[in-house]
Amino acid sequence: MSLLVDLEVIDNHVALIKLNRPDAANAMSKALLDELNHAIEKINQDKSIRCTVLTGSGEKAFCAGADLKERRGLSEEQVIEAVRYIGQTVKAIEEMKMPVIAALNGVAFGGGLEIALACDIRISSEHAKMGLTETSLAIIPGAGGTQRLTRLVGIGRAKQLIFTAKAITADEAFTIGLVEQITSKDALQTIALETAGIIAKNGPIALQAAKTAINQGSQADLTTGLAIEHACYKETIPTKDRIEGLQAFKEKRAPLYQGK
C-alpha cells in the first residue's frame, strides 16, 4: 500500500513533504490527514531540520481541499469533527518551529489553500489556480481561511475572493500578495528546495525566533509587537551560534551553525 504522504529529508537540513493522492487531486481524506500529522510530528522532533517544503504529487493539484466523496456519508456532527481535524492539521503546520514553504504545483482550493496560507512562504507554479471556493457549496472556509487570507491580502480582497468563490490564477495571486513567487512547473520543486537551502544556512534558533516574532507580533499592536520582538531577540544572545556568526564574519568564512 502506497503512502498518502511522502516525507524525505534532504542533506542540507531541509524536509520535503509531498501529499500523494494524485488520482484524487491530493484531497484531504482522514487517512491522509493522519499521515500528514505524523510527518509534521516527525519533523518537529528532528532538530537537524531547519526548513520544510510542502507540495503535492503530480502537476494538476497541490490539494483540492477536503475529500468530498468521503464527506458525503458523514452525519452533521461527523462533518463538524472532520472540519475541526483539518483546522487542527493546518494549525499544526503553522506552528512548526522552522520556516515552511508551500510549493503550489497545481490547484489549491478550499482546505488546500488553507494549508498554503498556514505556510510562511508560498511559491506557485505558473499554471496553478487557487481560491477559497466554499461558498459555492453553501459553506464557508472552516480551517482558518477567513482569518489567514484576510491578514495576508486585506479585508476587501479576502471578502471578494470568499464571497465570489472565484478561483484566481498564479499571476493574480502574486499581484494581490497571496503568493510570493511564481515559477515554471518544471522548476518549482528545484526553486522551492533551493530557497529552503538558503534559509537553512542561517542560524536555526534565529529562524525560530524571527518566525515567532513575526507571527505573534503581527496579531498585536505595534508597542506589544516591539516587546515580542525584543523578547525573541534576547533568546538569540546566549547562543553559541551567535558567537559562531561573529567569528565567521571576522574570518570571512561561511558560519557553521549547530542550533545551540
Stated length of the chain: 260
How many other CB atoms sit within 10 Å of the CB of residue 81? 12
Q: What separation in angstroms does the CA of 147 have from each of 36, 38, 69, 133, 214?
A: 22, 26, 26, 15, 16
Please name which of 9, 11, 8, 12 lies closest in space to residue 197, comparing C-alpha atoms: 12
Strand order in the sheet with 168-169: 61-63, 107-109, 129-131, 168-169
Please name which of 121, 94, 118 lies closest in space to residue 195, comparing C-alpha atoms: 121
Say which of 15, 39, 61, 66 is annotated catalytic: 66
Cell triple for residue 87? 483546522
Contact indicator for 98, 208 with CB cutoff of 8 Å: yes
- Give the distance between the most distant pair of CA atoms in the chain: 65
Say which of 108, 116, 134, 206 is annotated catalytic: 134
Q: Is 117 left (phi over 0), alpha (psi -120 to 50) or beta?
A: alpha
Say which of 111, 142, 144, 145 is annotated catalytic: 111
Say which of 27, 110, 114, 116 is annotated catalytic: 114
134 tagged catalytic:
yes
How far does CA 89 lie from the centroid of its chain?
Answer: 11
Place of cell 493522492: 21
Q: Residue 121, SS3?
A: strand
114 tagged catalytic:
yes
225 tagged catalytic:
no
Cell triple for residue 153? 491580502
How far does CA 229 lie from the centroid of its chain?
Answer: 22
180 tagged catalytic:
no
Catalytic residues: 66, 111, 114, 134
